[in-house]
Structure formats: structure tokens, C-alpha cells
Structure 1
Amino acid sequence: MAMRYEQSKEESGELLRLAIPRMARHPAAFSPLSYAVWYEYLAGINRELAEALDAAEADRRPLDDQAVAQLYRSHIEGPQAAVVNRLESGFDGILKNLGAYAAEFGSQASRYDDSLGEAGRKLGEGIDAAGIAELVHRLVEETRSMRGSVTEMEGRLKSSRGEMEGLRQKLASAREEALTDALTGLRNRRGFDLAAADILAGADGAARKCSMLMVDIDHFKRVNDTYGHLFGDKVIRSVGQVLAGCAREQDVVARTGGEEFALLLPASALAVAESLAETVRRRVEQGRIRRLGSEEAIGGITVSLGAAQRLPEEPIERLMGRADEALYASKRAGRNRVSTDRGGPRASAA
């Protein structure tokens, strides 16, 4: 299971230092719940919680213990579980309603069928003109009633289809959130693994001829130590934005952990991966990132990259391993460069 918090001891210490004055502004006790709320807010890993807290501070609403507990329950304790519970409840309600509709319609249809059978028997026994007129009038009324029931049933089914589609969209949104890295908005490792498995399971050229890039921010610990861990988070987000901007629509981009990223390039020769890697490297090197609460823009951020092309029937783990080896070759050669694993005998060995 993926850890909820990936911050180091030093990062956590800085977040604690920043959280205490925030907590002191409000009447809520210095409780673990209150600390968790402000920790996730300051770490920038919980967008919905941040929006709720920003709104509370904008309205100058003091946060007491009850308000903090509500924020914790709504945005930390189990938003995914809450979504699942709502979806289950929604589906259950729709199914129950459809069952009631079907039973009611079935009863109406049975009564109509009985009426038709009775009319047939009476006609078979022979009746006079007045009786026929009365029978026809009654059948017309019951047919009109049955038509109304059919129309109502169609409306209820249409409404239920709309509700089901809404729930389907919420389910898709919940699934996407579970596969997304909160800090960068890219796929997380699980999201990457699932997307890669889908691509490699395909029978087309996308699977047979795909390439991989591994990316790591250079001297990231030094960046954190010099400018602070919140600036380090901003660096991670900025590099993620560069990667997303350079990738093509079919490429899979993910933050796989810490300051590390991966890109899977379907139907792409090694030369394509090398070209894209160089574009990423150059854009990161040329970028400048503004410090929080300051006009100062910091440059000199660089990344090292490793590229590899998939060998026949090669598992994704081995492909990532070769790209990672190429990445560390870039590190050893001085960083801020692209290195390539060309799949020699060592890499292709079992």
C-alpha cells in the first residue's frame, strides 16, 4: 500500500514549524487532528482541504475543535471511502426504485391483460350493441391508462439512466483521483503501472516498440536545505509541468516517488525518447522558479535523465531498471544530461 505521506524527517520538521503558528490563530486545541489538517494544507497534498481552509480564513471563521474534526473527517480520514459509500448508496437506491417501478408496471400490465381476456370472453358469449359499446369504452379507458403507465415508466427509466450516468462519472472520478499524485497532478506509481500494463498488453506496435525515460531532479536535497522544503515541493511541481508539457497525448507521465519521474512512450523508437529527453532537460535548465512569498526567482535547477527502448517481450520492471541505470550513468557523468541504455547483452540477459 502506498504511503500517504512521503515527506522526509527534515521536511516534516519544517512543516511542524510552520503549522504551529497557524494552529495558534484558532481556538481548536493543539490536537493530532488539528496538526494533520494543517500538515496536509502546508504540504500542498490535499487540494480540497486547502480550498476549505482558504475559504475559512478568507471569511475569518475561527476553527474550533468541532470545525477541525469536520475538516479531518471530510478531507483526510476517508474521502475515498466516503465516495465509495455514496456510490454504493446511490446504486442501491436506483436498483430499489427500478424494482418498485417494475413491480408496479407488472401489476398494471397484469390487470390490463385480465381486462383483454374478459373482453374476449364476453365477445365470445355474444352481446348486444349496447354491451359492445360499453366494452369498447372500457377498453379505451384502460388502454389510455396503460399508455400513461408506459409513458411514466419510460420517464422513470430515463431518469434512472441519468442517475446511473452521474454515478458512473463519480466512480470514474474517484478512480482517477486514486491514481493521481496529489502534489503534481500527474499519475502516481500505481496509475503508471496500470497504464503501462494496458499498453504492454496490446498486440500493436505501441507495445512492441515503446521506450522509457526516467527523470531525477539533480541535487534535490541541496535545494531543500538551501531554500526550504516548500520551495522543493514547488520545484517538483514545476518539473512535473515541464514533463506534462513535453509529452505527447499517448505518453504516460508519472511521479514515481520523491523527486523521481517516469515517462512511457508507446510506439516510439529510442531516438524519439532521446529527443524528448533533451527537450525536457533544456526546458528545466532554462526555467526559473519564484520563491514563496518573494519576488526572487531561482534558476539553476536541472534534471538527469535515462532512456531505454523495450526489448522483445521485456517486462516493464526490467525496462524501467535499464532506464534507471542510464539515469544513474547521467548522475555519475556530472548530472544535467541524458544517457541511454541501448539494450546490450547484459540488459537482455535473463
Structure 2
Amino acid sequence: MVSESEIKKSKEIGEKAWKRLMDESLGPTPESYSLFYHYYAGTDYAVNQAVDKAMKKDGGLSEKQCAELYRDFIQDTAATEFMLQAEETILSIMQEVSGIVGEAESATGEYGKSLAQSNKELGDVKSIEDLKKVVTAMASDTKKMREKNSNLEIELATTSQRMESLRVEVETAKEEAKTDGLTKLINRKAFDATLKDHIKKSVDDNTAISLLMLDIDYFKKFNDTYGHQVGDQVLKLVARTLVEGIKGKDIAARYGGEEFSVILPETNLTGAVMVGNALRKAIANKELVNKNTGDTLGHVTISVGAAEALRNEKIESLVERADKALYAAKGKGRDQVCAAPKSEE
């Protein structure tokens, strides 16, 4: 049962979220309201960090940005609903298999009793006619058992096919839940989990690991000038160039909005800066063409922050240091790479 204090707290959070929507002149969409409700609830550090960062960068949030942040950090509905459906289907299949096994056990038991009875009757045979009756009964029971087994095999084969089909669907749903729909890179949630795993591995193996945070320069101006379709085209171009430019174990992710990240296992700070510069130059050399009109729109540049993980450093700290280095690159004129200090001095 929900307590009065919990109800009061929820109401206060809801009122703060609603006021924020009004202050920001945002439409009260479910995505925007949910985003700010989570923000004021303060239960997810990543949500608050992303909102604060977007506010600092652009001076406010648009409904489109709210929807993107909601999708990147909160929404997991489609995947969750599918998993629930999958669980129900698995339960149904398990019940079917249980029924098939029970039927097989029952049929086997009946066949065993029939054979035992036939064996007993064999001891009482006194004529060829008696023997013929017993053998005929045994043949009939055996035929029924074969038919029953054949039907059971068909049912089990069908069930097996359903399980394989479901397995493929579940794996596909899992991949979709980890992938950014626009750029096809891993999304923020997958990035968090992947970075955590790689940092643990770097500690276990005593190897370096670095992180790049990348942001498209003047993206908002680009979006406002040419429209969101061209903006999406820019995001795809950057994502594709990142994938083409990284190697081996390196992993590119869409961190949120126009910000990307690259995890660099077994790479120190010097190597990270080199990778960052290579990616920056590769993107700057790409010429952007409006697919709708064929017009040349010039070149896109990015700013990059690089940080190498410190001993026993928390993930949040590594991301924050790389992010600060990114903003340092922005402050120095953009289209460059800045490295975070190796210590907190």
C-alpha cells in the first residue's frame, strides 16, 4: 500500500515537472512530462546529467530534444512488452511440452501394461488359435504405440520450430533495444553497460582504456538552417564515419542528441588523442550534400574530448572528465581534440 508521504512526494515531483514544462514553453507531451518527472525524482543520474548538459549547451530544450532524451534514457516500453509476450509464449510452450511428455508417459505405461498382459496370456496358450489371438493383440498395440510416437514426434518438432523462431525474435528485440534507430550505433544504455564491462576487463587485465566524447560543431544552427531531415543526415554521416574510422575492439555509440562517444580498450591517452584527431579529420573531409535537392552544404566538423581511465576511477568520473575536455575543445575554437589531465591535480 502506498503511504501518504509517498503520495505527497509524487505530487510535489509532478508539480515541479509541470512547472518546468510551462517555464520552458514546452507542450505537455507524455515524453516531456516523463522526462522532467524523472529529472526531479532524481533517481537516475544519467537523466539529470543529460538534461543539464543539453540545457547548458542550448540554453533550453525543445520538444524534439525532450523526445530524444526520453527515448535514449527512459523508454524501454517496446522491448519490455515484447519480452513479456515472449515469456508468456515460453510458458505456453512449456505447458505444451509438459502435456506431450505426460501423454507419452501415459501411452508408454498403457503399452507396458498391454505387453505384460500379453506375456501373461502367452503362459496360458493351449492352441494355435490362442497364440494367434495374443500375437494379433500385441501387433495391434504395437501399431497404436508407433502411431502415437509418430504423432508425438510431429508435435515435438513443431514445438521445437516455434522455440527457434521465438529465440530469433528475442535476440532481434534485444539488439534493437541496444541500438539507436537513426544512426544504428549502440545507444546510451548499451554504451553505459559496454563501458562498465570494458573498464572491468581493463582492471582485470591491467591494461589502459580511454574514452572519447565527440560533439558536432554548430549542429543546432545547422538544424535550424536546413531542417531536421538534413540534421538527421548529418548524424548518420558522422556515425558512419566513426564506424569506418575505428578498428578492432573500439566501439562507437550515440551518446545523445549530436553527441557521440568512442570506447577505446587497450588504448592510453596518447593513442586516444591520435584516434580522436584521425576521426575529426575524416569527418571534416566529408562533403555534405542535401539528398533532397542535391545542393552542396559544405563540411561538418566535430570537437573531441579524450580521457584515459584512472586507477579505481568510477565510470561517471571518466565520462565527466572526457566531457570537460570536450567543452575545452569547444572553448578553444572547436574542430580540435583536447585531452583530460591524467590526474585530478
Report the TM-score, using the length of structure 1 for normalisation: 0.70
For 1:247, the equivalent position in structure 2 comes to 246
Moved more, 240-249 or 130-139: 130-139
Counterpart position of 1:223: 222
Secondary structure (helix, strand or coil) at the match of 1:215 reads strand
SS class of match (1:335)? coil
SS in 1 for 2:313: coil
CA-CA distance at 1:304 after TM superposition: 0.8
User: Are 1:343 and 2:345 counterparts?
Assistant: no
Q: Which runs of 5+ in 2 are unaligned?
A: 1-29, 36-50
| Aligned residues: CA RMSD | 3.5
Kept after mapping to 2: 8 A contact 1:11/1:229: no
Gap change, CA 1:203 and 1:156, over 3 Å in 2: farther
Partner of 2:186: 187
- Distance in 1 separating the partners of 2:336 and 2:113: 83
Task: String of CA shifts for 1:178-233, please: whole Å, max 9, x gaps.
Answer: 22222212111111112222333447866842221110111222222333333222
1:306 and 1:326 in contact (8 A); partners too: yes
Aligned sequence identity (%): 30
1:211/1:310 contact within 8 Å kept: yes
User: Which is worse superposed, 254-263 or 155-164?
Assistant: 155-164
Task: Compute the displacement of 1:112 (Å).
Answer: 0.5
Q: 1:243 to 1:159 in 2, by over 3 A?
A: same
Closer/same/farther in 2, CA of residues 330 and 203 from structure 1, 3 Å limit: closer
Give the distance between the partners of 1:81 and 1:315, measured in 2 at CA.
29
Q: How does 1:11-50 map to 2 (within 5 A)?
A: none
Change (3 A) 1:203 1:280: closer
Deviation at 1:163, TM superposition (A): 0.9
2:147: which partner in 1?
A: 148
How far did 1:137 drift? Answer: 3.4
- Whether the aligned pair in 2 keeps the contact of 1:286 and 1:299 (CA below 8 Å) is no
Offset of residue 318 of structure 1:
1.7
What SS does the aligned partner of 1:304 have?
Answer: strand
Alignment: residue pair count: 289
Equivalent position of 1:321 in the other structure: 320
Q: CA deviation at 1:105?
A: 1.7
1:140 & 1:234 partners in 2: Cα distance? 73
Q: CA–CA distance in 1 between the matches of 2:195 and 2:308?
A: 14
Q: Please, which runs of 5 or more residues in structure 1 have no aligned partner?
A: 16-39, 47-75
Supply the distance in 1 between the matched residues of 2:76 and 2:269 (Cα, whole angstroms).
Answer: 44
1:256 deviates by 1.2
What's the counterpart of residue 57 of structure 1? none
Report Cα offsets for 1:256-277 as digits up to 9, x if no partner: 1111111112233334322321
Is the CA contact 1:207–1:267 (under 8 Å) kept in the aligned structure 2?
no
Instruction: Return closer, same or farther for 1:300/1:86 CA change in 2, 3 Å cut-off.
Output: same
Choose 198-207 or 227-236, whichever is displaced more: 198-207
Q: What residue in structure 1 maps to residue 255 of structure 2? A: 256
- Mapped contact 2:288–2:299 kept (Cα < 8 A): no
Offset of residue 285 of structure 1: 0.6
Q: Could you tell me how far 1:115 is from its partner in structure 2?
A: 0.9
Aligned-partner residue type, residue 217 of structure 1: I
Q: Cα offset for 1:303?
A: 0.4
Equivalent residue for 1:232?
A: 231
Structure 1 pair 157–208 and aligned structure 2 pair: CA distance change class (3 A): farther
Distance (Å, rounded) in 1 between the aligned partners of 2:63 and 2:248: 36
Superimposed CA distance per residue, residues 143-185 of structure 1 (whole angstroms, 9 cap, x where no aligned partner): 3332333333233222212211211221122222222222212
**CA contact 2:115–2:138 (8 Å) conserved in 1:** yes
Q: 1:170 maps to which residue?
A: 169
Change (3 A) 1:204 1:163: farther
Q: Using a 3 Å threshold, how does the CA distance of structure 1 residues 77 and 281 change in structure 2: closer, same or farther?
A: closer
How far apart are the structure 2 equivalents of 1:178 and 1:97?
Answer: 29
For 1:85 and 1:179, the matched residues in 2 are separated by 17
1:294 partner SS: coil
- The change in CA–CA distance for 1:194 and 1:216 in structure 2 (over 3 A counts) is same
Matches of 2:290 and 2:62, distance apart in 1: 16
2-structure distance, mates of 1:141, 1:242:
72
Aligned residue in 2 for 1:96: 95
Q: Write the distance in 2 (CA, Å) between the matches of 1:315 and 1:127.
A: 89
Query: Does structure 1 conserve the Cα–Cα contact (< 8 Å) formed by 2:202 and 2:209?
Result: no
Preserved contact between residue 208 and residue 310 of structure 1 (Cα < 8 Å): no
